[in-house]
Amino acid sequence: MSGDLIDVLIPVPLLENFTYKVPKEYKNKKFKKGLRLKVPFGNRIVTGIFWAYSDSIKSKRASYKYIKEILDEDPLLDETLLDLADWASRYYHYPLGEVISYFFPPTLRKGAEARFRRSTYWKVTDKGDFFDLSIFKRAPKQREALELLRERGDMSQQSLKAYGISAPILNNLAKKELIKKLSIEQAPIKSVGSETTEQKKLTREQRESIEVISKELSSNKIFLINGVTGSGKTEVYLRCIKQLVDQGKQALVLIPEIGLAPQAERRFKEMFGDRVASFHSAKNERERLDVWLGAQRGLYDIVIGTRSSVFIPMKNLGVIVVDEEHDASFKQADRFRYSARDIALYRAKLNRIPTLLASATPSVESMSNALNGKYKLLTLKHRATGADLPTFIPLDLKGKVLEEGFSEQLLEEISNELNKKNQVLVFLNRRGFACSLICKSCGWVSYCDRCDAHMTLHSNPIQLHCHHCEHKKPLYTECPSCKHNEFESYGLGTERIETYLKKKFNQFPVLRIDSDSTRKKNAFTNYLKVIEEGEPLILVGTQMLAKGHHFPDVTLVAILDADSGIFSADFRGSERVAQLITQVSGRAGREKKPGKVILQTYCQEHPQMEELLKGDYESFVKKIIKDRASTKSPPFSFQIKLQAESFNGLQSRDFLVTCLDYLNNTQHLSKGMKTIGPLPSLMEKKSGVYRWEVSFFSSSRKSLHNLADHLQSFLYLPKQTRKVRWSIDVDPISTV
Ligand code: ADP
Ligand code: ZN
Ligand code: ZN
C-alpha cells in the first residue's frame, strides 16, 4: 500500500526528498503536509518535515528506514507558508529541506516541543481538601502552605515563594499526597486597550498617504512610502496598522537591523501596549520560541523583526511592512540567498494582503516599480516636525593640508556647533584604527594571507584584523620582509578619528559607534541613551549610525571621505553611496535646530558628486534608473550569478567553463541571454579560497529561471561537488 511510504524534507543541501516507512503504531495516522517528524538520517536523528505520501513506484523498493516519532499533533505552518517555502526554494534555487528550516526557530528545528515556557503550579488534592490541619502542629509552614492553597486555589511555585514557602515544604506536602505538582504553559496574555490615546496631529502629506492606503487595506497592493528622512513614515504605517489591528488582524514589521529594534518597539508600544513582540538574534532561543508561538497562535498583534522574521507564522496576518526597504541587510549573503523584502512581497501576494515598503532612499528596483505603476507611490517631501532638510555644503580638499583627515575649515565648524551646545556626527564608513600597516624602510604592506585585502590595524587591543575573513594577528615587532622595525599606519578608521577628536576637543565627550564598540549586549542602547540626553558631544561612526535613528540634537553631519564609493567597480555602487550619504545626512537637524551636512571631497566636479550635493535623492535615483534602462541592467533585466570557489583559481574557473559548456551543449543558453564571465570575483581570494563567477542576464525571468533549473540539476550531480564549492545567487546585490 502506498500509504506506508512517505516523503520527508531533511535540512541538507541536496535536492531530493527522502523516503521513509511508517511504523505500525502510526498506520492509522493521517499525515498532514508540514508535520515535524524525527527521522534517522545517516548516523544522526534529525527533524524532518512530512511533505507527501510517496508514489507507488518507489514503494517497490524496501530498504527505507522507519520514522522515529511524530513531533506535532498538527502542522505548525499553514498552507500559505508551505506554499511560500515551495516557491522560495524554486525561485532561489535552494533545496526545499533547507529553506523550510528557516521557517522554524532554532529550538523547533532541533525537535523541541512547540509549547510556551512552562511554570510549576501546585494544586490541593482531594485528600488535602479534607485533611485535618491540626495534625500539622509541629510543621507550621506546611500548614500555612496547605491553608493558603485551599484558600486561593492553584498557585505558581513562584508566588508561593513570595509568601515564604519554599520548594522543600511543598515537596513534603506532595509526598503526603496532600498537594500535587502541575506544569502549565505560560502563554502571553492577550491584553487589550492599553494603548495611549494621545495622538500627534498628522501633517497634510501623512494624512493624504494614510487616506490612500486606508482605501486599499483589504487589497494586495504594494505601496512605496518614499518620504524624506524624518517625514513621519513610521507614523503613517503605524496608523494603517492600527486600522487593521482594530479589525482583529496582525502586522509583521521588518526592520534592517537589530540596533533599530528598541526604538521601533517603543514607538509601537506607545500605540499598542503589550501586544507587540520583537524577534531578532539578541533574544535567546527560549524567548524566540515564545515570540514565534505567540505570533503563530495570534496572541501578538504586531511582530517586529529582522530579516528572518519574514518566515514567522501569523494567525491572521493583515499587512507586512518593510521599513528601510532599500537596505542590503534584507538580503542574506550566504547559503540561502533570499531577499526578505521580496519574500515579503510574495507572502503578501499569497495572503492577499497589502505590503508597505518605506524608505527615504528607495532601491532602484522599488522606485522603478513605482514609476511603472506596479507599486503605488506615496511621497512625503517635508519633515513632520516642520524642520527643514539639511543643507549640503561641499568642502573642496584640493590643495588643503589635512590633520588626521580633517580640514581646518571642518574643525572650525565642528567647534562652532559644539560651542552652541549642539551635537556633531562624524561619518566614516571604515572601522578600526588604520587601513593598513606599512614598513617605512621597504614598503611592505600588511596583507591578509588568506584574502586579497589589507589587514586593518586596531588599537584596542592592538592587533591586525582582516575584515573579510575575521583573521587576527598580533602586531609585528619587525618587518617580515626587511627586518626593520619602523612602521607607518596608513589610512583612517573610526578608532583613529576617535582618538584624534578626543585630544582636539577634550572638553566634550566623543562616542564611537561601530560594530566593534557595540558588540556587548546593550552597548548600543546605552549609547543611544547618552545621545538622547542632548548634551553637546561628537559621534563618530560607520553606517550603523546612518540607519533610521532619530537624533534630535545633531545639527552637523561631517562626511569625512565623500569620494569613497563614487569610483566603485560595481554598477550598484552609485546607488549605494547615494543611499548612505542621504541616510547619514538625514540625522541632521531633525527637530528645532537646522541641520548642515559638510562633505569633504576631492572631486566636487564629478557629475555624480554634483548630483549628490543637490541633496535630492529622488532625482538621483531617477537618473540611475535611466542609465540602467539604457544599459539593460537590472531591474531592466534579471540576473542570476553562479559563483565557484576552491583552493585554486584555475580550478574555480574551469568548473564554470564546464558548466557553461553543459548549458551550451544542451542548448539552454538561449538567444536573449547575456552571459558575463567566467571572471574572478571582485575580491578573488577570500578566506583562503579563490572565487570566480559567471552572471546570466535576461529580460525574461522565466527563461532565466529555466536555465537555473537545468544548471541546478547539473550542479547537484554527485561528481561535481568534490573540489569546488558553488552557489547560485538569484537577484544578487553585490559583486564582492
Ligand atoms: P521617518 O520614519 O520618516 O524617518 P519618523 O516617523 O521617525 O520619521 O518621524 C520623525 C520624527 O517626527 C519623530 O520624532 C516623530 O515622533 C515625529 N513626528 C512624526 N509625525 C509627526 C507629526 N505629525 N507631528 C509632529 N511630529 C511628528
Ligand atoms: Zn620592511
Ligand atoms: Zn582575510
Q: Which pLDDT tens digit goes with each residue over 526-564? A: 998 999 999 999 999 998 888 878 888 999 999 999 887
Instruction: For residue 59, give the C-alpha cell.
Output: 514503494
Q: Are residues 542 and 397 in the same domain?
A: yes
For ligand 1, whether the C-beta of 203 sits within 6 Å is yes
Which neighbouring-strand residues pair with 251?
302, 319
- CATH (domain of 70): 3.40.1440.60
Q: Which residue has the cell 540561502?
A: 336
What's the confidence (pLDDT) of residue 721? 57
Q: Which tens digit of pLDDT belongs to each residue from 419-474?
A: 999 999 999 989 999 999 999 999 999 999 999 999 999 998 899 999 999 999 99
Structural domain harbouring 313 = 204-380
User: Is residue 96 in some structural domain?
Assistant: yes
Cα 300 to its chain centre, rounded Å, is 21
For ligand 1, whether the C-beta of 347 sits within 6 Å is no
Q: Residue 447 C-alpha to ligand 3 middle, in angstroms?
A: 8
Instruction: For residue 466, give the C-alpha cell.
Output: 582582516
Q: Are residues 24 and 76 in the same domain?
A: yes
Q: Are residues 153 and 249 in the same domain?
A: no
Instruction: Among 235, 304, 584, 585, name the best residue to mutate to test ligand 1's pocket (greatest count of ligand atoms within 8 A of Cβ).
Output: 235
CB 434 within 8 A of CB 440: no
For ligand 1, whether the C-beta of 206 sits within 6 Å is yes
Please identify, among 338, 359, 380, the residue that sits at the C-terminal boundary of a domain: 380
Angle at 94 between CA 85 and CA 691, to 5 degrees: 150
Q: Are residues 536 and 644 in the same domain?
A: no
Please identify, among 356, 380, 404, the residue that sits at the C-terminal boundary of a domain: 380
End-to-end Cα spacing for the chain = 53
What's the confidence (pLDDT) of residue 194? 52
Ligand nearest to the CA of 448: 3
Cα 359 to its chain centre, rounded Å, is 16
DSSP class of 504: H
User: Is residue 51 in some structural domain?
Assistant: yes
- How many domains would you assign to the chain? 5
| Cα–Cα separations (whole angstroms), residue 44 to 23, 205, 225, 243, 341 | 19, 58, 49, 49, 35
Q: Are residues 36 and 143 in the same domain?
A: no
Distance CA 535, CA 310 (A): 38
Q: Are residues 584 and 545 in the same domain?
A: yes
User: Is residue 154 in some structural domain?
Assistant: yes
Which neighbouring-strand residues pair with 46?
39
- CATH (domain of 165): 1.10.10
- CATH (domain of 557): 3.40.50.300
Q: Are residues 372 and 398 in the same domain?
A: no
Distance CA 300, CA 273 (A): 10
Distance CA 230, CA 242 (A): 21
Q: Residue 611 C-alpha to ligand 1 middle, in angstroms?
A: 27
Instruction: Among 206, 207, 234, 591, name the best residue to mutate to test ligand 1's pocket (greatest count of ligand atoms within 8 A of Cβ).
Output: 234
CB 427 within 8 A of CB 408: no
Q: Residue 40, preceding bond cis, omega within 30 degrees?
A: no
For ligand 1, whether the C-beta of 309 sits within 6 Å is no
Ligand nearest to the CA of 487: 2
Residue 661, pLDDT above cutoff 60: yes
Q: Are residues 606 and 664 in the same domain?
A: no
User: Is residue 257 in some structural domain?
Assistant: yes
DSSP class of 342: H
For ligand 1, whether the C-beta of 231 sits within 6 Å is yes
Please identify, among 568, 599, 628, the residue that sits at the C-terminal boundary of a domain: 628
Phi and psi based region of residue 707 (left: phi greater than 0; alpha: psi -120 to 50; beta: remaining): alpha
Nearest CA to ligand 1 atom 15: 232
Q: Are residues 161 and 64 in the same domain?
A: no
Q: Are residues 334 and 222 in the same domain?
A: yes
Closest CA to 116 of 252, 263, 342, 296: 296
User: Is residue 444 in some structural domain?
Assistant: no
What's the confidence (pLDDT) of residue 652? 95
Q: Are residues 230 and 351 in the same domain?
A: yes
What is the band of 61 on the pLDDT scale with cuts at 50, 70, 90? low
Q: Which tens digit of pLDDT belongs to each residue from 122-139?
A: 999 998 888 888 888 788
Q: Residue 97 C-alpha to ligand 2 middle, in angstroms?
A: 52
Q: Residue 230 C-alpha to ligand 1 middle, in angstroms?
A: 6
For ligand 1, whether the C-beta of 232 sits within 6 Å is yes
Instruction: Among 550, 554, 585, name the best residue to mutate to test ligand 1's pocket (greatest count of ligand atoms within 8 A of Cβ).
Output: 550
- CATH (domain of 646): 3.30.70.600
User: Is residue 469 in some structural domain?
Assistant: no
Local structure of 177: helix, strand or coil: coil
Q: Are residues 155 and 273 in the same domain?
A: no
